[in-house]
Amino acid sequence: MRKHAGSGLRVAVIGEPTGWHVGRLLAALAARGHQGTAVRWTDLAAEVATAPFSEVSATVPQGVERFLPPCLESADLVVVRGMPGGGLEEVVFRMDLLGRLAARGTPVFNSPRGLEIAIDKYLSLARMATAGLPVPRTVVAQSPPAIEAAWHALGKDCVAKPLFGSRGRGIVRISDQESLTPLLHSAAAAQPAGAVAYLQEFVPHDGWDVRILIVGNEAFSIRRFAAPGEWRTNVSLGGRPEAFEPPQAWIDLARAAARAVETEIAGVDLLPGSDGRVVVLEVNAVPGWRGLEAATGYDVSNTVVEYLEKRG
Query: Which pLDDT tens digit goes with each residue over 217-254?
Result: 999 999 999 888 777 777 777 788 999 999 999 999 99
Query: Which pLDDT tens digit goes with each residue over 266-299?
Result: 999 999 999 999 999 999 999 999 999 999 999 9
Lowest mean pLDDT of 83-87, 133-137, 283-287, name the range: 83-87
Residue of 6, 63, 74 lying closest to 39 (CA atoms): 74
Averaged pLDDT of the chain: 90
Report the 10 Å Cβ neighbour count for 8. 16
pLDDT score for 5: 43
Pairing of strands 265-272, 208-215: antiparallel
User: Do 36 and 13 touch, CB atoms closer than 8 A?
Assistant: yes
pLDDT score for 61: 54
Q: What percent of the chain is predicted at pLDDT more than 90?
A: 73
pLDDT exceeds cutoff 70 at 58: no
Query: Which pLDDT tens digit goes with each residue over 140-157?
Result: 999 999 999 999 999 999
- Structural domains in the chain, sorted by start: 10-116 (3.40.50.20), 138-201 (3.30.1490.20), 204-298 (3.30.470.20)
pLDDT score for 59: 54
Average pLDDT over residues 174-190: 92
DSSP SS3 for 34: coil
Determine the Cα–Cα distance for residues 89 and 93; give it in Å rounded to an integer: 6
SS3 content of the chain, % helix, strand, coil (to 5): 35, 30, 35
pLDDT exceeds cutoff 90 at 56: no
Distances in Å between the Cα of 276 and the Cα atoms of 16, 165, 204, 267, 271 are 40, 28, 10, 22, 10
pLDDT score for 10: 96
Assign residue 198 a region (left: φ > 0; alpha: ψ between -120 and 50; beta: otherwise). beta
Average pLDDT over residues 169-173: 82
* Model confidence band, residue 64 (pLDDT cutoffs 50, 70, 90): confident
Pairing of strands 35-39, 77-80: unpaired
pTM for the full predicted model: 0.89
Burial of 113 (0-12, 13-18, 19+ CB in 10 A): middle
Query: Which pLDDT tens digit goes with each residue over 23-46?
Result: 999 999 999 999 999 999 999 999
Determine the Cα–Cα distance for residues 193 and 1; give it in Å rounded to an integer: 45
